[in-house]
Structure 1
Amino acid sequence: MAFNTGLSGLRAASVDLDVTGNNIANASTVGFKSSSAQFGDLYASGFLSSGTNPVGDGVRVQDVKQSFGQGNISFTDNGLDMAINGDGFFVLNNGGEIRYSRAGQFGIDKDGFVTNNQNMRVQGFTADDDGNLSGIRGDLQVETDNLAPRRTTNLSSDLNLDSRQSVLENRIRDLGEDLSVADLDGDAFQIEYSDGTTSQLITIGAGQPANEVAELLGSQKGINASARTQFDLSEQFDMAQLASDLSDPDFELTISLNGSDNVTFRGSDGITDLDSLAAAINDSELNTVQAQVSDTGDDISIIDSRGFTVDMAYTTGALGSQSFAAPERGNLFVTAEREVTGILTDSTGTGAFEASFAAGETRITNEFNPLDQRTYNHATSTTIYDSLGNSHEMTQFFVKEPSPGNGVGQSEWSIYMQIDGEMVAGTDETPFTARFNQDGELQSINGDPNGEIVVDDWVPKDANGLPNGADGPPAPGEEVVTPIPEPPTTSAFVVDLSETTQYGSAFGVNDQNQNGYTTGRLSGLDVSDQGVLFARYTNGQSKALGQVALAAFNNTDGLSPVGDTTWVETFESGQPIVGAPDTGTLGSIKASSVEDSNVDLSAELVNLIIAQRNYQANAKTIETSDAVTQTIINLR
């Protein structure tokens, strides 16, 4: 009996050594859980009684139990490495067999599936094309294809219009148009303003060029002036004679501006008729002078855009020379702002200037012009996208308007819209009207309390101003429903201004979002604490590709280890409870991390010594029993 007792002890000690050695061997195995041998004593017993003096029959291994305690979490350089902080197991698909593991060393195979280092696919909750997570479980896959572009169907602007802004109404009077400076020689005058003040005394010199007179007038407060010289050669020359003289190879024509800038044109340079003369003038260094042959072909119009005095003469070898009877002087174009009330001549003036200058009508000159920032109060731009993913710049302009009615409790703004320099939404003809109440809140846009503007006339174009092949506006008569249904089929989109306010503070864009983007390539992956895989693309977009699933068991100790740091479900473990990380009793996910083995090397080395001592002690039991037996055998 002693032999059997000692032998069972050797077997038990050997199993203990095996378990301890296995723990030590896997001290660096990611996700490994240590085990311990559990023993029970043996007694011989009968059916009804174990006797009055029972003697033990040795020991047996009752169980090898694993410890599923949390291991340390270590950071790695792999973004797809995951560690579970808390309860739960990763769910792995091993060719149809479901396994469970705490080892989160994951990567991507050639088909884009997330796998462990044994090519088992990680299970999770899949997402649709828009990144919405579902409750459907399947193999997680990272699509490496380019992200398809998405056209803009909604633009939401949250901004504040400054209620302190004034109405940009600029009224002027046309005081003189096509006014010849010849009528102003020697005049002296002053400008009278609405506040009763007057300008300095202004004197027009005899024969003074129109450009100088315009500069003198334009330097006065509230006055705008320009000059231009325009005439036909027939006003100065006998055109029949000139046409005849052009046939002389010695023909020479000289043009002088303000008594200088002399340029000579010669028959020897190829001038033979009026057409070649006009072409020579246009190609000369007189950049501001343009010549054009009349439709009848018998006259030339001369225009100097600066209003310089033009003098001209020509000579021929046989007939001598001709010149202007008098230099051609320019005309004035003069306007004045509302603050100008009149023009006063002095005692030496003729009064002719006053009579001409006071003529004209009052008109508004600052009608909305997107190129002139003086014609709108505020503007903001954002990038939108067509169906091909091409970017376009959209600008919204806001113009303060006179308050409706008596101006109490309501304010109005006009809204203009432009895409790539072209007006859209019909605002080139009629702007949208935004009305605000006494609290600065938006009441309506063109009567719509939702504050929405539908842009349904946009044709996406390329840099040359030609349609670029993207979807265009809806067909005539086709109704545009808001919000734009998916998938969109036209370039129509909605501008949502419902959050716009009009407070007494500076104009500001609080938020501006649109739902379009261009195509993008996969640039990286991120994993959240909830196990959601986010794909990042080169166009700045990100999208959820799926969510890692975790499984928990009522009896974790009932799982059966099958190698590769994985376990399988058994009858003892119960069925798995699968859910999302960080929900219920399931732990959270730590990205770029792995869970280390929970083996305590110090304790295992001590256990190794204990198992060795136990083995030696049981061997001593057998040795002693053998010695006693030998003594009996040696009896004679």
Structure 2
Amino acid sequence: MAFNTGLSGLRAAAVDLDVTGNNIANASTVGFKGSRVQFGDLYASGFLSGGSNPVGDGVSVQNVKQSFSQGNISFTDSGLDMAISGDGFFMLNDGGETRYSRAGQFAIDKDGFVVNNQSMRVQGYTADDDGNLSGIRGDLEIGTDNLAPRRTTNLRSDLNLDSRESVLESRVRDVGPLAFNDISGEQFQVTYTDGTPAYSVDLSGLTTASQIADKLSNAPGLSASATTTANVPLIDADIAAAGTSFEFNLSINGAPLQIDTSSVNTLEDLRAAVNRSSDTAISAAIVDDGGDNNVLRVSHNQGENLDITYTGGSVSEKGDINATGERTIAGVDVTGTSGNNFVTEYGLSPIRITNEFNPQDQRTYNHATSTSIFDSLGNSHELTQFFVKSPPPGNGVGVSEWSVYLQIDGEMAAGTDTTPYTARFDQDGTLQSINGDANGEILIADWVPKDKNGQPNGADGPPAPGATVVTPIPDPPTTSAFVLSLGETTQYGATFGVDDQRQNGYTTGRLSGLDVSTQGVLFARYTNGQSKALGQVALASFNNTNGLSPVGDTSWVETFESGQPVVGKPDTGTLGGIKASSVEESNVDLSAELVNLIIAQRNYQANAKTIETSDAVTQTIINLR
């Protein structure tokens, strides 16, 4: 029996040496899990006499158990290297057989599949062309094709418009010229929509155009000027015929103006004499009378009454009035000699915009910002948004407005060349609406993408006339229409600033790199700055990890004892997360294994001594004869 006992001990010690040596040999193997031998004693026993012989029969190797404890994680310079921090195994497709491994040294093969060093394909959840992950498992593949361009269908601009900015643009009416006799004696009322009290204007009892202009200018929002012009039907022949008896007298509001006519022989001499007078408001010029002659035109630029007598005739003029109005005029008691009263003429006069918006003139807008948008071919275009503070509606209490102009590649868009969009803000600086739209959206449906020469570049153009465009733009888009969203724009008393500006279009791009997230998602990076999910690594766990069967290449296969795998996404449930550009080192403790090696060696020597002693005893018995 001693021989069998020692022999079993030798066998067990040899197995211990093998396992320890294998651990030491794989101390640097990525994803390797060390093993430990588990022993059990042997006793001879019969069917009905269990344990009747107290002397043991040696030792047996009950199990070689692997330790699946976490190994150290070390960083590498490979973007596709992955380490599992926590529970779980990578799933590998080895020609149809599924293997499980903790070794995450991966690369891309010639067909674009993610594989390990033995060309086993990594399993994971695939993604569609838009980067949306699915629940379908398969071989992870890295596409090397160029990323197709995506046209812009939505642009979001989060801005702050400075409420302290002044109004640059105003709308006025130019009235006139109106003759003194037409509006003299009129009475009317100027009414206002901003809360200013109504103002009554009475032009009765006034004797000059200058007085009427002053009266009109006293009304808030009205400004007026007066000019008196008199055409004197004199020609050179008239002056020459009069000779030394020629006379020319000019009075302003009945006051004579001293003019030296002693040396006047021609119409030109008379013009010069008038211009040499002491009154700088008087001027004279020679003009065509519409026939065959030139006549003298005398003007008073302040609108005083002119009375002129000359050899052969006389002229009397009361002047004309020109007015500019920024307010609403309502007639109360309008009178006039000709029916061309001031109120009527005001209503018929065209609206003129002062300091009208001009994208080339920075003085005509308060703020501007630009961003790139893309057409269906991936060509970049520049969209510029201009903001012009407008006069407040009503009385200006609790509300303010801005005009919004849009320009693409230097051409006005969305019809803002004729009618800008109106952004209205409340008393808190919050956007209420844009042209009544509470979402603050502007639909640009008239954009024709053009090349640098101003010609259509072949990309999709605007919708057909009469076609209905819904927002948001549905996928796949078929036109160049897109939505500008200003819903988060504010109007605070702070400097103009762009808080956020993003759009969903991009040009074509080439694959420039790969990234892996903590959830094991593989992201492709492209030269156009875009990234897209290509897939997600799948992990598997088992109820009995020690039931897995090692099959080499640092991998295991499922067995009956391990149970079926529980497959899921990294960093969910009990599954661990993924560390990118990292690998999990062997969990072998080299110092402990060297000590175990010494112990196994001594055990082997001791069991050999048992056999040697038994041999000596047997030899003694033989020698008794």
TM-score, scaled relative to structure 2: 0.72
Matched, 1:528 2:517: yes
Output aligned runs, 1:263-282, within 5 Å.
Answer: none
Whether contact under 8 Å (2:9, 2:59) holds in the other structure is yes
Match of 1:579 in 2: 568
Name the SS for the 1:119 alignment partner: coil
Aligned counterpart in structure 2 of residue 415 of structure 1, from 404, 415, 418 = 404
Give CA deviations for 1:251-295 in whole Å, capped at 9, x if unaligned: xxxxxxxxxxxxxxxxxxxxxxxxxxxxxxxxxxxxxxxxxxxxx
Counterpart of 1:151 in structure 2 is 151
Per the TM alignment, residue 77 of structure 1 is displaced from its structure 2 partner at its CA by 0.7
Check 1:44–1:502 CA distance in 2 against 1; reply closer, same or farther (3 A cut). same
Match of 1:477 in 2: 466
**Paired letter, 2:489:** T
Deviation at 1:632?
Answer: 2.3
- The AA in structure 2 aligned to 1:374 is R
Report SS of the residue matched to 2:491: strand
Alignment match, 1:107 = 107
Partner of 1:351: 283
**Per-residue CA distance 1:496-543 (angstroms, 9 max, x = gap):** 111111222221111111000000111111111121111111101111
Tell me how far apart the structure 1 counterparts of residues 116 and 606 of structure 2 sit (CA, whole Å): 45
Q: Report how far residue 85 of structure 1 moved.
A: 1.2
Structure 1 residue 558 corresponds to structure 2 residue 582: no
Shift of 1:559: 0.7
- Structure 1 residue 607: Cα displacement: 1.1
SS at structure 2 position matched to 1:162: coil
Query: In terms of mean alpha carbon deviation, does 80-89 or 47-56 score higher?
Result: 47-56
Q: Alpha carbons of 1:487 and 1:2: their partners in 2 closer, same or farther (altered >3 Å)?
A: same
SS at match of 1:406: coil
Cα displacement (A) at 1:172? 10
Give the match's secondary structure for 1:394: strand
Equivalent position of 1:133 in the other structure: 133
Secondary structure of 1:502 counterpart: coil
Root-mean-square deviation (CA, aligned residues, Å) is 2.3
| Distance in 2, Cα, partners of 1:82 & 1:348 | 93
CA distance in 2, matches of 1:429, 1:421: 15
The alignment-based identity, stated in percent, is: 83
1:95-133 Cα offsets, whole Å, 9 max, x none, are: 111111111101111111111111111111222222222
What SS does structure 1 have at the residue aligned with 2:161?
A: strand
> What is the DSSP-based 3-state SS (H/G/I as helix, E as strand, rest coil) of the residue aligned with 1:60?
strand
Paired position in structure 1 for 2:259: none
Structure 2 unmatched runs, 5+ = 175-212, 214-276, 286-297, 303-319, 325-351
Asked if 1:160 is matched to 2:92, the reply is: no
Q: What is the Cα deviation at residue 170 of structure 1?
A: 6.7
* Contact kept in structure 1, 2:45 and 2:53, CA below 8 Å: no
Structure 1-normalised TM-score?
0.71
Structure 2 partner of 1:519 = 508
Q: Which residue of 2 aligns with 1:611?
A: 600
| Counterparts of 1:348 and 1:396, CA distance in 2 | 50
Does residue 383 in structure 1 map to residue 315 in structure 2?
no
| Structure 1 segment 215-294 matched on structure 2, within 5 A | none
Q: Is 1:372 matched with 2:361? A: yes
Inter-partner Cα distance in structure 1 for 2:597 and 2:41: 21
**What residue in structure 1 maps to residue 64 of structure 2?**
64
Query: Are residues 173 and 559 of structure 1, via their aligned partners in 2, closer, same or farther at CA, if it must alter by over 3 Å?
Result: closer
1:543 aligned residue:
532
Q: Residue type of the partner of 1:450?
A: N
Equivalence for 2:205: none
Aligned partners of 1:558 and 1:596: how far apart in 2? Answer: 22
From the superposition, tell whether residues 387 and 403 of structure 1 become closer, same or farther in structure 2 (CA, over 3 Å).
Answer: same
Relative distance call for 1:487 and 1:349 in structure 2 (3 A) is closer
Task: Report the residue type matching 2:480 in the other structure.
Answer: S
The 3 A distance-change label for structure 1 pair 469 and 357 is farther
Tell me the distance in 1 between the aligned counterparts of 2:414 and 2:147: 30
Q: Distance in 2 between matches of 1:521 and 1:120?
A: 27
Could you tell me how far 1:352 is from its partner in structure 2?
3.6
Instruction: Give 1:186's aligned residue.
Output: none
Question: Match for 1:558: what amino acid?
Answer: G
1:127-171 CA-partner distances (Å, limit 9, x unpaired): 222222222221111111111100000001111112222221379
Cα deviations across residues 548-602 of structure 1 (Å, max 9, x unaligned)?
A: 1111111111111000000111111111111111112211111111111111111
- What is the Cα deviation at residue 356 of structure 1? 7.9
Q: For residues 395-410 of structure 1, what are the structure 2 equivalents within 5 Å?
A: 395-410=384-399
| Whole-angstrom CA distance in 1 between matches of 2:535 and 2:299 | 83
Aligned to 1:303: none
Give the Cα–Cα distance (whole angstroms) in 1 for the partners of residues 386 and 609 of structure 2. 100
- Between the aligned partners of 1:585 and 1:575, the Cα distance in structure 2 is 16
Q: How far apart, CA to CA, are the structure 1 residues paired with 2:168 and 2:517?
A: 52
| TM-aligned CA deviation for residue 634 of structure 1 | 2.7
Relative to 1, partners in 2 of residues 1:92 and 1:426: Cα closer, same or farther, differing over 3 Å? same
Match of 2:420 in 1: 431
Q: What secondary structure sits across from 1:510 in the alignment?
A: strand
